Homo-oligomer: A and B are copies of this chain.
Amino acid sequence: MTFRISIIGFGAVGQGVAKVLLCKRETLQNMGVDIQVVAIADSRSSLINSEGIDLEKALQAKKTNGRIGNERTMSDSALEAIRDLEHELMVEATPTNIKTGEPALTHILHALGSGKHVVTSNKGPFIHNHATLINTARDNDVMLRYEATVGGAMPIINLIQENLAGNTIHRIEGILNGTCNYILTRMADEGLDYHHVLLEAQELGIAETDPSYDVMGIDAASKLVILANTAYGNNVTFADVQITGITEITPETLELADKNGYTIRLVGEASKDLLTVAPKLVSKKHPLAIRGTLNIATIHTDLSKTITVSGVGAGSIETASAILSDIIHIYKKHKAH
């Protein structure tokens, strides 16, 4: 069975997916997984080949020309053509839009509505209307997976859905933003102030030019919403999270914490009734006192007690790895069906 997929969004993540499919071609063949990319769209252009796109050429074209095919904007006929194209699965890898979830929300609902499975790394649609997405997938008898939306390669969505099936989840705590964690780790280690370390992080490419999305706690809050909806199915949205960022933390506060055996971390916490993202004192011996750009989450349950997972929270290949695992999961289920 050949599984035809489209990749919508061809920035870091979309290209990561193409690279991973290229370098894992043999591995996938040995696993009996036969995947063919039949369409790629970026914000300005698109490429369709029902016989299978040459991914190496597509990556090269993107690198050379900044786009992959004919000049078009993504909302127009190019995307329609992809929607009308016969294929089994769409990878939605456009950048997250916190405010509206668009254009990913429309892409995903259209794909599900036309009977296509969807795998995505895009947080936007899930923080606005998780339930609509889940219900649309169910009503159309297709699968929607989103492991890559939270913490890159950190395996947490599948953990909640599979390993903790049947468990009651009391609470989830996590360090869900690597940029903030890097800044807090460096500030504590070196006694440096926030602005100094932020500049350093920007130079290293760990923080964006406009870092507000990370340092204000917005990114962590988005991931927390997705975790809460996955664990509790209660359709919370971004507006339900109480958020405090890390911009007010001083080296003096960190030093005082350190003297008492603590450090400060930007902790996201979700229970059935409460969603918060805020700097918190964490014992230096506690797993959440994780260092650097790593992400970590601890899940407190009734049967399994406490489970902790950590991993690289970002990166195009790490995120693509989470997308690949979702594609393989769907491939196998689709095949068995």
Contacts and interface: CB of A to CB of B under 8 A. Distances in A.
18 contacts: A24-B303, A27-B166, A31-B165, A31-B166, A147-B163, A153-B303, A154-B307, A158-B162, A163-B322, A164-B321, A165-B329, A166-B321, A287-B287, A303-B321, A304-B322, A305-B311, A306-B312, A308-B309
A320 interface: yes
Given A153-B304, A287-B310, A303-B324, 6 more contacts: A153-B305, A154-B307, A155-B159, A165-B329, A166-B325, A301-B321
A176 to B, nearest CB: 16
Interface of A: 20, 24, 27-28, 31, 147, 153-155, 158-159, 162-168, 285, 287, 290-291, 301, 303-312, 315, 317-318, 320-322, 324-325, 328-329, 333, 336-337
A86 to B, nearest CB: 23
A312 B304 contact: yes
B158 A163 contact: yes
Contacts of A320: 303
B325 A164 contact: yes
A37 to B, nearest CB: 15
B321 A155 contact: no
* Copies per assembly: 2
A-side binding surface: helix, strand, loop or mixed?
A: mixed
Contacts of A317: 303
A24 B166 contact: yes
Contact of A165 (B154, B162, B324): B324
Contact of A163 (B20, B307, B325, B333): B325
Contact of A337 (B165, B306, B336): B336
A238 B254 CA distance: 48
A20 B166 contact: yes
Contacts of A306: 311-312
Given A31-B165, A147-B163, A162-B158, A304 B287 contact: no
Nearest to A310: B308
A328 B303 CA distance: 15
A54 B333 CA distance: 34
A166 B303 contact: no
A10 B290 CA distance: 40
A306 B312 CA distance: 7
Contacts of A310: 287, 307-309
A262 to B, nearest CB: 15
A167 B304 contact: no
Given A311-B304, A311-B305, A312-B305, A325 B165 contact: yes
- Ordered nearest first, which 3 A-B pairs have the shortest CB separation? A303-B321, A153-B304, A155-B163
Nearest to A321: B303
B166 A329 contact: no
